[in-house]
């Protein structure tokens, strides 16, 4: 898309939902109609991200600056509501009409933000103090979005990977998606570009060849990420979770298998989250197949990551994933066999196919990590703890680096106070430094790496 097209704006538009939203109460609609309320500000940020679909920027601050005159108003009506929009990105429209898929994403964002705000903030209906309560909240948000299907088969593959990847890597994700689609697997991703879009695009062709009309392309995001990674147009089920921790839990609760493609610090965060779960003694007997997949040209990516994981968490970490290089069909075949084991286990334990209640997700993975210079500096990055506990600490460190790279609040914090400081043992800092330097050298931190300035500084803790 040309810069001229991206910078154009739609001066005014009125949009109504594709399906009725008359289940919203007058109070819920009024809260969105009041522009000084926090819920309206949150919806405005997410709405701008949705309307910006097609723009390759991953800089949330730049997006807000470019569209500082953007406004969206919720107008309550007795039969439902309408949205009045000013100065929206023009690429969301064709001949003056909003693209239908973007329109659906816009009202999905409205649905989730209203539900979470009124159940969580106003009515205090969610218990966010206990492990069981948080998992229940994740389930209820997904159920409200109709992402949990009671009659679903075990065929949902979660695909993770970077938004800033090479053309060869992107094409590989499409090939894997195609092979998964031919085998009737549904796809869930973080809903953005790159490795989040490729598998869906490939699967769409595979599904079409199999005349699969019940295909699902689930995109799961959260407010801090969606502004830097707008939903790709293939997503037909968009869900916005309250924070990154509930987003990650939603993925693993829904997944029957996981494929990880090359990426940057966000992908490393996701891998560490997975390993913290899989290495936890309580989850030892729960099957959740994980395949790390890359094209031949990027074989070194997972070899470097594998070396980092083994040197920090121990060689036993390799029991929890498999690396496949240059074989898209092989990835799909391995997952198909492994997911048969998942199905068998769920039947034996009389567990749901649609939501993996059996996984134990501990506090360090559930409680939101509020990224600040102080919290980053206090992270315990030492080997004097259980492997799954170190994986959880490293996950938070990489989550902070994601914030410093692409999230609006993180970018502003770095601009005001300089890079985040991470402190730990010398051996661990050396390994982490080598991995991050390679990410920078390979352009995996930002879509445009030319002017990238690291948002982190590593220091040996004395």
Q: Do 169 and 79 lie in a common domain?
A: no
Q: Do 346 and 241 lie in a common domain?
A: yes
Q: Do 100 and 156 lie in a common domain?
A: no
Q: Do 110 and 166 lie in a common domain?
A: no
**110 in a structural domain:** yes
The last residue of one of the domains, among 120, 140, 163, is 120
Residue-wise pLDDT tens for the chain (462 aa)?
444 555 689 999 998 887 655 456 666 666 666 655 778 888 888 899 899 887 766 667 778 888 889 999 888 776 667 889 999 999 999 999 999 999 999 989 988 888 888 777 655 677 788 888 899 999 999 998 999 987 778 999 999 998 888 899 999 999 999 999 999 999 999 988 899 999 999 999 999 999 999 999 999 999 888 877 889 999 999 999 999 999 999 999 999 999 999 998 889 999 999 999 999 999 988 999 999 999 999 999 999 999 999 999 999 999 999 999 999 999 999 999 999 999 999 999 888 999 999 999 988 899 999 999 999 999 999 888 899 999 999 999 999 998 888 888 888 999 999 999 999 999 999 999 999 988 888 888 766 666 778 889 999 887
Q: Do 215 and 114 lie in a common domain?
A: no
What is d(CA 143, CA 157) in angstroms, rounded to the nearest whole number?
A: 18
Best CA proximity match to 233, nearest among 259, 205, 201, 261: 201
pTM: predicted TM-score of the whole model, two decimal places: 0.89
**128 in a structural domain:** no
**142 in a structural domain:** no
What is d(CA 242, CA 254) in angstroms, rounded to the nearest whole number?
A: 17
Q: Do 114 and 154 lie in a common domain?
A: no
Q: What is the CATH number of the domain that holds 99?
A: 3.30.1850.10
* DSSP code of residue 120: I
Q: Do 235 and 283 lie in a common domain?
A: yes
DSSP 388-445: HHHHHHHHHHHHHHHHHHH-HHHHHHHHHH-SEEEEE-HHHHHHHHHHHHHHHHTT-S
Q: What is the CATH number of the domain that holds 236?
A: 3.40.50.450
What is d(CA 401, CA 395) in angstroms, rounded to the nearest whole number?
A: 10
The two three-digit tokens of residue 440, written as one number: 């920078």
Neighbours of 79 (CB within 10 A): 9
Chain-centroid distance, C-alpha 6: 24
**129 in a structural domain:** no
Q: Do 164 and 71 lie in a common domain?
A: no
Q: Do 101 and 215 lie in a common domain?
A: no
Number of domains in the chain: 2
Q: Do 309 and 189 lie in a common domain?
A: yes
Q: Do 304 and 240 lie in a common domain?
A: yes
**125 in a structural domain:** no
Chain-centroid distance, C-alpha 41: 21
**266 in a structural domain:** yes
**133 in a structural domain:** no
Which phi and psi (to 5°) does residue 13 adopt? -155, 150
Q: Do 307 and 383 lie in a common domain?
A: yes
CA torsion, ordered 240, 241, 245, 251, to nearest 10 deg? -70
Print the domain residue range for 27: 3-120
**170 in a structural domain:** yes
């Amino acid at each position: 898309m040309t810069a001229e097209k991206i910078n154009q704006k739609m001066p005014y538009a009125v949009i109504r939902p594709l399906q009725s939203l008359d289940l919203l109460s007058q109070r819920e609609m009024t809260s969105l109609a009041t522009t000084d309320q926090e819920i309206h500000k949150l919806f405005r940020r997410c709405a701008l991200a949705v309307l910006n679909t097609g723009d390759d920027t991953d800089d949330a601050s730049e997006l807000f600056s470019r569209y500082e005159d953007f406004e969206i108003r919720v107008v309550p009506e007795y039969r439902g509501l309408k949205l009045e929009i000013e100065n929206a990105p023009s690429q969301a429209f064709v001949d003056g009409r909003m693209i239908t898929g973007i329109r659906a994403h816009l009202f999905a964002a409205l649905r989730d933000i209203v539900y979470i705000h009124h159940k969580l903030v106003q009515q205090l209906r969610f218990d966010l103090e206990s492990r069981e309560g948080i998992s229940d909240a994740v389930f209820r948000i997904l159920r409200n979005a109709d992402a949990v299907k009671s009659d679903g088969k075990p065929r949902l593959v979660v695909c993770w990977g970077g938004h800033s990847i090479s053309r060869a890597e992107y094409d590989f994700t499409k090939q894997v998606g195609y092979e998964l689609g031919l085998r009737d697997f549904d796809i869930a991703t973080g809903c953005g570009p790159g490795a989040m879009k490729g598998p869906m695009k490939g699967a769409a062709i595979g599904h079409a060849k199999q005349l699969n009309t019940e295909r699902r392309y689930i995109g799961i995001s959260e407010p801090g990420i969606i502004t830097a990674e707008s939903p790709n147009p293939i997503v037909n089920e968009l869900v916005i979770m309250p924070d990154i921790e509930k987003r990650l839990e939603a993925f693993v609760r829904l997944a029957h298998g996981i494929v990880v493609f090359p990426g940057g610090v966000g992908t490393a965060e996701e891998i560490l989250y997975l390993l913290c779960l899989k290495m936890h003694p309580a989850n030892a007997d729960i099957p959740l197949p994980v395949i790390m997949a890359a094209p031949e040209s990027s074989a070194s990516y997972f070899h470097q990551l594998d070396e980092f994981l083994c040197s920090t968490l121990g060689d036993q970490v390799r029991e929890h994933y498999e690396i496949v290089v240059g074989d898209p069909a092989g990835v799909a075949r391995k997952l198909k066999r492994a997911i048969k084991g998942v199905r068998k286990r769920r039947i034996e334990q009389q567990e749901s196919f649609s939501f993996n209640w059996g996984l134990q997700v501990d506090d360090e993975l559930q409680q939101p990590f509020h990224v600040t210079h102080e919290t980053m500096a206090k992270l315990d990055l030492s080997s004097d703890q259980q492997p799954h506990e170190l994986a959880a600490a490293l996950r938070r460190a990489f989550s902070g680096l994601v914030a410093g790279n692409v999230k609006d609040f993180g970018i502003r914090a770095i601009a005001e106070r300089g890079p985040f400081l991470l402190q730990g043992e010398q051996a661990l800092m050396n390994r982490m430094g080598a991995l991050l330097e390679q990410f920078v050298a390979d352009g995996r931190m930002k879509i445009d790496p030319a002017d990238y300035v690291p948002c982190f500084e590593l220091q040996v803790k004395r």
